[in-house]
Amino acid sequence: SQTIHQWPATLVQPVGSPLSLECTVEGTSNPNLYWYRQAAGRGLQLLFYSVGIGQISSEVPQNLSASRPQDRQFILSSKKLLLSDSGFYLCAWRRGGTEAFFGQGTRLTVV
Amino acid sequence: AQSVTQLDSQVPVFEEAPVELRCNYSSSVSVYLFWYVQYPNQGLQLLLKYLSGSTLVKGINGFEAEFNKSQTSFHLRKPSVHISDTAEYFCAVRLISGGYQKVTFGTGTKLQVIP
């Protein structure tokens, strides 16, 4: 069966520090991968998606970037965090089917 | 482009009472429809989905939703809620077409079940 792992679960980082959140998928190959952000009091916002290794599409301009160095690995990064980057980050995958499957999320607090 | 509207940001309801969470969408083409649930500090879990066929869809935990094409709605219902149903619920749509299509989510409805 397919599983998705996302870490860390919680993270507190100072403003201006770098960020790296990792997401890996097991049990499938060539999935579509997604990063969503859920800010306090707001819905889910799609940040990035990837249909293959090295292929990244950005939905909104922001302080973040994403990379897909391997087929089942998706990384969300920032060189310098802003206070507005705080939120709940969710990784998801989909392949061929209709619904997306989500990781457990990372609660990021920028202080 | 498609969009999803969840008008109710919060819905308080007493335990064992019925509940309806509203979802309306707009799209110029046919869509798949989903409801996801998010428990505190967790990822999203699929509750149910409408792909085709019967407009009444039954999901997990006793939830069901009805697709109404003329009203472009996909409201979620449960006849009797439990404390454990307290969570945030998201409606989502995806275009029916080949190739990549992103899922668009509503802003979510927080269901609070009161003892």
Round to whole Å and give the CA distance between A70 and A92: 15
Alpha carbon A104 to its chain centroid, in Å, reads 11
What are B29's two structure tokens? 């083409």
Angle made by CA atoms B42, B14, A38, in degrees to the nearest 5? 25
* Closest Cα in chain A to B52: A98
**What single-letter amino acid sits at A72?**
R
Predicted confidence (pLDDT) at residue B15 exceeds the cutoff of 70? yes
Cβ–Cβ below 8 Å for A98 and B32: yes
Round to whole Å and give the CA distance between A71 and A33: 9
A97 phi/psi in degrees, rounded to 5? -85, -165
- Among A68, A24, A60, CA closest to A39: A60
How many distinct helices (H) and strands (E) make up chain A? 0, 11
B28 or A78, greater pLDDT: A78
B35-75 residue pLDDT tens: 999 998 788 999 999 988 889 999 999 999 999 989 999 99
* DSSP 8-state secondary structure symbol assigned to residue A59: S
Round to whole Å and give the CA distance between A109 and A12: 5
B27 phi/psi in degrees, rounded to 5? -165, 145
A107 CB neighbours in chain B (<8 A) are: 41
User: Given CB atoms, is B41 within the 8 Å cutoff of chain A?
Assistant: yes
A37: left (phi over 0), alpha (psi -120 to 50) or beta: beta
Confidence of residue B86 (pLDDT cuts 50, 70, 90): very high
A25-55 residue pLDDT tens: 999 888 989 999 987 666 788 899 898 999 9
